[in-house]
Amino acid sequence: MINGELVKGYQGYAGEMGHKISNPDGELCNCGNSGCWQIYSSEASFLKQLSEKLKTNIDL
């Protein structure tokens, strides 16, 4: 909020920390950018990486 107004930002992503770019040359995110922080730090990312390492499907 700025001056009592809700700030939405570009495409509604203001305040969406998961879509801050941490690796400009990284994987494609579902928001359309590459290298968003959530690609590397989310629960889904952790499970994907673990599944790849263990060579098995992990589903919660």
- Residue 2 belongs to a domain: no
- Residue 7 belongs to a domain: no
Half-sphere exposure in the Cβ direction for 2 (13 Å, CA): 5
> To which residue do tokens 């990284």 refer?
26
Q: What residue numbers bound the domain in which 38 lies? A: 18-54
pLDDT tens-digit series, residues 42-54 = 888 889 889 999 9
Cα–Cα distance, 20 to 6 (Å, whole number): 19
The total of structural domains in the chain comes to: 1
- Residue 23 belongs to a domain: yes
- Residue 5 belongs to a domain: no
CA 49 to chain centre: 14
- Residue 43 belongs to a domain: yes
pLDDT tens-digit series, residues 5-28 = 887 877 776 777 888 899 999 999
- Residue 46 belongs to a domain: yes
Amino acid letter for position 4: G
- Residue 39 belongs to a domain: yes
Whether this model's pTM surpasses 0.75: no
| Residues β-bridged to residue 5 | 2
Answer for the pair 14, 7: CB distance below 8 angstroms, yes or no: yes
